Chain A
Amino acid sequence: MTGPGSWHAAGPGRYGTDAAGPVDGEFTDTADLEREFEETIARDRRIEPRDWMPDAYRKTMIRQIAQHAHSEIIGMQPEGNWVTRAPSLRRKAILLAKVQDEAGHGLYLYSAAETLGADREDLTNRLITGAQKYSSIFNYPTLTFADVGVIGWLVDGAAICNQVPLCRSSYGPYARAMIRICKEESFHQRQGYELLLTMMHGTGAQQEMVQDATNRWWWPSLMMFGPPDAQSPNTEQSMRWRVKRHTNDELRQRFVDMTVPQAEALGVTLPDPRLRWNDTRGHYDFGDVDWDEFKRVVSGNGPCNAQRIANRRAAHSGGAWVREAAAAHAAKRTEAAA
């Protein structure tokens, strides 16, 4: 696949040398290894970093975890946009804590991707060169402070729907990172909803801001679950490997069912004339998502794609001297100690 030391978590640099491990090929052939891998998954046990795994599984996990990490990192920008203009110290402190959490989530996930042999520098480069994607939701602008609340409510709400089942992902380090992340997401969603409740108890203009933000974020939030099952070619394999536990459409339906009563309690209208309870199905029916828009935004033509990547790139190159200085300082101190 790639050169030494880059894609094997088991290689030197991660856990030193094996004190007593068998040498590759010493005790079993690929068919045995594959059967053991399948059995581990069938018994709902976790795959751990230094286990043998099929190349396709490793690649899929690296791609999924990296995209997730990139989404958290880029996800700091839409809300970060309002940190300096938060309306009170309380809101500012909350927003700062939330944005800091997003950075933390990105780092937990990069760390999980590295257990599969991915390289941090390489992952960052793939993000800023567009070789790897992040969630298309972060390519929409945050026009008013109500957007901060709606992101917490809808975007983090959808993320929770997606992420709770991932706490049981077959890949151990990813599942453990997701457990940590899900605990923190709950604060994100509640602060957003509370913010919106406060605005809905405010002036008419504030209520209109909340409705406007809801109108703009509702459909992109539904897109967060990915294309319809019929157009999601990887779903079947991912479900078999238990790196995905529910289909895109199942999760989307769950999110709609959870959110409608929250919208009612808040006093906003979700912008879908076809949204109504279906007694026979026991679920809400809802309108068609504009998948053409989704494709446009994913392929780079959303309102903020260029700006998001430019900011990330600037932060990375602007921080280069800090990384270099710290490395030089550490080297100097090691020398002095020797």
Chain B
Amino acid sequence: MTDASKEGNGRASGTPPRSSWPLFEVFLRGKRGLNHVHVGSLHAADAEMALHHARDLYTRRNEGVSIWVVRAADITASSPEEKDPFFAPSGDKVYRHPTFYEIPDSVPHI
């Protein structure tokens, strides 16, 4: 095993490490009418426990009316680079924005 972080931590062999509880990302709907928003992450043995932990950790003051938890490993992410070619298709399509079109000031309600 080459993983340096796992060495020398005195863990008894055969004991499942705490980190064997997978990581879950937590999303909260703050109130009706709003989207779920990512608020953080936590470890839990399974999804049901993750929901309970998320309630205790992220909604102690009525911050949410609905919680989603999802295993971090199940998320597929784009690369974080802002200049990533992945986002290039929308970069040169200014005509998708309303400000692209010139309309005389005299025309109302448009």
Q: Residues of A at under 8 Å CB distance from B? A: 2-7, 10, 12-22, 48-51, 97, 100-101, 104, 107-108, 111-112, 114-115, 119-122, 124-125, 129, 173, 176-177, 184, 320, 323-324, 326-327, 329-330, 333-334
Contact = CB atoms under 8 A, between A and B. Distances in A.
B3 A6 contact: yes
A323 B16 contact: yes
B17 interface: yes
B49 A19 contact: no
B80 A48 contact: yes
B110 interface: no
B4 A120 contact: no
B18 A15 contact: no
Contacts of A330: 45-46, 49
5 closest A-B pairs by CB: A21-B79, A3-B3, A326-B45, A6-B5, A330-B46
Interface residues of B, number: 39
A312 to B, nearest CB: 14
B32 to A, nearest CB: 22
20 contacts: A3-B2, A3-B3, A3-B6, A13-B23, A14-B72, A15-B76, A16-B75, A17-B76, A19-B77, A19-B78, A20-B78, A48-B80, A50-B77, A50-B80, A51-B80, A111-B41, A122-B5, A122-B9, A176-B40, A326-B21
A49 B40 CA distance: 12
Contacts of B77: 15-16, 18-19, 21, 50
Given A13-B23, A104-B57, A122-B9, A22 B18 contact: no
A177 B18 contact: no
A323 B18 contact: yes
A111 B43 CA distance: 9
A107 to B, nearest CB: 6
A312 B45 CA distance: 22
Nearest to A108: B40
B45 A329 contact: yes
A15 B18 CA distance: 19
Nearest to B17: A121
Contacts of B46: 326, 329-330, 333-334
A124 B18 contact: yes
A337 to B, nearest CB: 10
B16 A324 contact: yes
Contact of B73 (A12, A101, A119, A122): A12
A297 to B, nearest CB: 26
B4 to A, nearest CB: 4
Contacts of A333: 46
A6 B75 CA distance: 18
Contacts of B43: 120
A327 B46 CA distance: 8
Interface string B82-106: 0010100000000000000000000
